Each structure stands twice: as structure tokens, then as C-alpha cells.
Amino acid sequence: MQAATSFSQRALMWALGGMLALGIAGCGAEPKERAAFIAFLQARIVDKPGLHVPILTRQEEKSFGDYAKHFAVITDYNKSMDAKVQQPLRDMMSKNMLITMSELVARRADVVALHKTSAQLRALIDTEQAAAGSRRVALKQPDDLKPVFDKAYARAVTDPGNNFKEFLVVMEGMLTSAEKMADFLDTHKDQFKFSGVMAQIDDPKVLDEANVRMKELNAKSAEVARADRKLLSMISGH
């Protein structure tokens, strides 16, 4: 019986020793994985001008260990943005711009549709940012990783989303002015004579109001151009 007890104790000690060795080995890999992940975030996103969301290679994913799941918060957000926002945004921007007042009247429905699409895209970005934010808050990150990840997250999630929404808000302001102008032109259609890009208005009062509305629309269009340049600068880093 004594021999059996001694054997059991030795077996238990051997098992515990094996588990301890595995535990030490596992803990030993984490600092190296974390260091590799921090270096990756710093070099490939934080220090790099413009918007960049690298696709991990199998080797990189393996070298980051569980931290690859942290990076998935960023990549999943961008994949969802590409699928739900980018293509509709490109479609919206590809629409032929209105260049004459007669076109504005004829295509008022297009202006209204663009306005609706823009508002929907902003709501989608809010939803995607909120979903990514919830996942980010749940991450457990060491003190040396968190500030670097926060910077990368801002560059790849927060800043692009906010810039896109800012552009869309400005775009909607221009579209609102365009809708008002179209309504004004339709209301006074009997007093307008269109010839190409020119419009003749005989009533001085109507002419003055048309000039005020056109000045507002031109100012809103200039704001859209500035917002577009800011957005492109954020994306390109220039």
C-alpha cells in the first residue's frame, strides 16, 4: 500500500510538473507576441501616412497569437464598411452633377434620392462604429499595448468614419439647398426662360431671390469641395 501511495504521489508530481511547464511555456510566448503586435501596429498603421488596414499573412497572424483577434476588431469593421458603405458611396458620387437650373428642375427626384442615401449611409457608419466600439471596450490589453492599439484604432476606424460622416453632412447641406432651389424654380417656372446654362428672368423681385438662392447653393457646393479634399487627404496622407 505504501508503494502504491508513493507511486501515486510521484505520478501527481509528474503531472503537476508537466502542467506547470506548459503554463510557463504559454506565458513565455505572450510577451513576444505582444511585442510583435505592437511593432506591427506602429509601423503599418500609426507611423504610415494615410489610411491603411493591412491584411495579415498567416505568419503574422501566428506571430501575434491571441492578439490577432484584437486586430480583427479593426479589419472586421473595415470589411463591413467596404460591403455596406463604400460601394453605395461610390455609386452616389458617380452620379452626374447638375450644371444648369433646368437640369435641377428636371432631376429634383434624383437630388431627393441622393439626400436619402446620404442620411442612410451616415446611420450605417454610426452603427458600424458602435459595434466595433463595443468589441474594442471588451478587449483586455496590457498597458504597453493599449495606447498603440488606441492610436491604430483611431487611424483605421474612428477618424475615417468621422470624416466620411462629416463629408456626408456637408453634402446633405448642399442637397437641401438644391432641393429648395428646384422648388423655387418650379414655383416660378412661368417666369423663367432657359437657354442652355443661362436663365432669363424678367421679374426683378424673382431675379433677386433667385440670385440669393443660387449664391447659397454655390457656397454649399464649395463646402462640399473642401470636405471632399479633406477626405481624400485623410485617405492618401497628403
pLDDT tens track for 157-210: 999 999 999 999 999 999 999 999 889 888 887 777 766 666 677 778 888 888
pLDDT of residue 101: 75
What pLDDT does 11 receive?
Answer: 40
Whether the predicted pLDDT of 4 surpasses 60: no
Of residues 134 and 106, the one with the higher pLDDT is 134
Q: CA 184: distance to chain centroid?
A: 36
Residue 33's pLDDT is what? Answer: 96
Hey, which bits of 65-209 come out as E strands?
A: 192-195, 198-201
Distance CA 163, CA 141 (A): 27
Let me know how many helices (H) and strands (E) the chain has, helices first: 9, 2
pLDDT for residue 136: 97
